[in-house]
Amino acid sequence: MRVVEDIATVRALLSEHRRRGESVGFVPTMGYLHEGHLSLVRIARARAMRVVVSIFVNPMQFGPDEDFERYPRDPERDRRLLEAEGCDLLFTPSREAVYPEGYGTEVSVAGLAGKLCGQSRPGHFDGVTTVVLKLFNIVQPDFAVFGQKDAQQLVIIRRMVADLDLPVQIVAGPTVREPDGLAASSRNAYLSPEERKQATCVYRALRGAEAVVRSGEVRADRLVDEMRRTIEAEPLASAEYISVVDPVSLEDLEAVGRSALLTLAVRVGKTRLIDNLLVGAGG
């Protein structure tokens, strides 16, 4: 596995692969890798001749009071894990390489970026789309793999790719969970043992609502109430939003039709967790 910090070197190595007709799959990450990230690398590995992973904790997607400085980092361990997964190229650019002096361009997907997580994290998704577009331009992959765990991010990136005619296929990887259902996340490292226990309410809320849909209740407000009760039963948990939305437009739904995204953001202690589940009234 080559580990490269420099943009020009990444371009040179990848143009060589493309010249030989080798397909390139790409997995962008912020590092502190867990099974969720590695599952995306395996998806890329199965579909492409060359796999590129980036690790870049992108300052542009963190708000001023967010956890950019204390975001967990373990580059040595990440490197070992990626080597073991058969990653070909690990791209770890510096902040200065991505945003040099005088940097001025932002990419924003109007509308979608302001919904759900965008309400409490203004500018977050503009930071995401900006860095992802830059990474796509540097790596020029045939496809890129993103986790369903970050459902809004996935919707926004698909929108950007369609809107800007980017020649990149977007592949979604299913959410990887701990045995008790908590979605794997680098931020789980922030949870104290007691918070970690109570954090299981997030997935329990989703599964509870899914069961309610199966029993025939499709009204969104009833499902939201049901999920809210599950979250509020845990003293350390508080819901930031709980929504039932269309999986493509992210517009609020009044009722679950053929498919709906149950999605929520919950603070457990100081840690903000997100999760979602796709459900459909048809089963």
Active site residues: 37
Sign, CA dihedral 144-183-31-157, equals positive
Binding residue for ligand AMP, selected from 130, 140, 152, 185, defined by CB under 6 A? 185
37 binds ligand AMP (CB under 6 A): yes
SS3 label, residue 52? strand
Binding residue for ligand AMP, selected from 129, 152, 175, 198, defined by CB under 6 A? 175
Sign, CA dihedral 269-272-273-278, equals positive
> Percent helix, strand, coil in the chain (nearest 5)?
40, 20, 35
**Distance of closest approach, residue 107 Cβ to ligand AMP, in angstroms:** 17
**Distance of closest approach, residue 61 Cβ to ligand AMP, in angstroms:** 9
**Number of residues this chain uses to bind ligand AMP (CB under 6 A):** 17
What are phi and psi for residue 132, nearest 5 degrees? -65, -40
Specify the residue, 17 or 73, whose C-beta has the smaller distance to ligand AMP: 73
40 binds ligand AMP (CB under 6 A): yes
Instruction: Fill in the DSSP letter of residue 224.
Output: H
- Counting runs of H as helices and runs of E as strands, what totals does the chain give? 10, 9
Specify the residue, 31 or 50, whose C-beta has the smaller distance to ligand AMP: 31
HSE-up of residue 55 (Cα within 13 Å, Cβ side): 26
Specify the residue, 191 or 220, whose C-beta has the smaller distance to ligand AMP: 191
**Distance of closest approach, residue 141 Cβ to ligand AMP, in angstroms:** 13
List interacting residues with ligand AMP (CB under 6 A). 29-30, 36-37, 39-40, 146-147, 149-150, 173, 175-176, 183-186
